[in-house]
Amino acid sequence: MKIQELLEQYKNGQISAEDVEKEIRKDGYDEMGFAKLDSDREERTGFPEVIFCSGKPDEYLVSIYKKMVEADGCAFGTRASKEQAALVKAALPNAIYDPVSRILRVEKEDNDRKNTKGVVAICSGGTADIPVAEEAALTAEYFGAKVIRIYDVGVSGIHRLLSKADTIREADAVVAVAGMEGALPTVIGGLVKNPVIAVPTSVGYGANFKGLSSLLTMINSCANGVSVVNIDNGYGAGYIATQISRLAAGGRAKD
């Protein structure tokens, strides 16, 4: 819980001075034995801790969600299976699962991050890249950015991308998600002045090497202003794009 929230609750008589002191004196994490939840992360970085669901034992996963919701009223997890989502929803009925992105989240009714802190454009090369693109989009939206989705604009039909160029230019940051040869970020990088975050996906035939060829293409891009995250890492791209959009929104507010 943020210090400002603690003080506000104390001022309103919702919490005692002893409880405020107890919260402030915490080590910065909640000890669960099998996990140490980083309760101070949002204070340090501007973003709360996120749960990587894949591989976690069922009991641990449900306990982590319950603890985070109890502490902050919300929780956000990536790479959740349908089975994991069902278990969490049984414990937390207001949990929301998106089977395309595999995002499993619990949101506050008055989410104070929903302040439209900048604009992020999410572009996908093909429809098969949408699961990774949606992971980026839902991440950025959860953290407060306004998201513009522009899907299936791969370079094999470049007129589709060019028809959306003006819309893409309006964003503070662009996430370009592509598999196959991974050329989409380079083309976008040559069209816009805003930063481009490239996401290689594992979509493609054998010589794609499960995204490795796309990754190498993006790393070797001749376009300026293109950075690259790991294969299928939509979450990482959405996070970075939100950081950029917050900085841009702050700059506009000062103008």
Task: Out of 5-14, 28-37, 208-217, 230-239, pick the least confident.
Answer: 5-14
As a whole number, mean pLDDT of residues 196-218 equals: 96
Residue ending a domain, among 106, 128, 145, is: 106
In a domain, 234, yes or no: yes
Same domain? For 174 and 145 the reply is: yes
Same domain? For 244 and 127 the reply is: yes
Residue ending a domain, among 81, 106, 131, is: 106
Same domain? For 98 and 154 the reply is: no
Same domain? For 65 and 150 the reply is: no
Percent of the chain with pLDDT over 70: 91
Give CA separation, 212 vs 127, 200, 202, in Å: 19, 8, 8
> What is the per-residue pLDDT for 22?
66
> What is the per-residue pLDDT for 250?
81
Same domain? For 126 and 70 the reply is: no
What total of structural domains would you count in the chain?
2
Give CA separation, 192 vs 130, 187, 224, 225, in Å: 22, 9, 10, 9
Same domain? For 129 and 93 the reply is: no
Q: Which domain does 134 fall in, by range?
A: 119-250
As a whole number, mean pLDDT of residues 200-214 equals: 95
Task: Provide the mean pLDDT of the chain.
Answer: 90
Same domain? For 234 and 124 the reply is: yes
Same domain? For 127 and 163 the reply is: yes
In a domain, 243, yes or no: yes
Distance of alpha carbon 201 from alpha carbon 249, whole angstroms? 29
> What is the per-residue pLDDT for 14?
78
Backbone torsions φ then ψ of 3, nearest 5 degrees: -60, -40
CATH number, position 128: 3.40.50.1970
> What is the per-residue pLDDT for 214?
97
In a domain, 71, yes or no: yes
Same domain? For 144 and 230 the reply is: yes
pLDDT in tens, 146-181: 999 999 999 999 999 999 999 999 999 999 999 999
Same domain? For 246 and 142 the reply is: yes
Q: Kindly give the pairing relationship between strand 103-106 and strand 75-78.
A: antiparallel
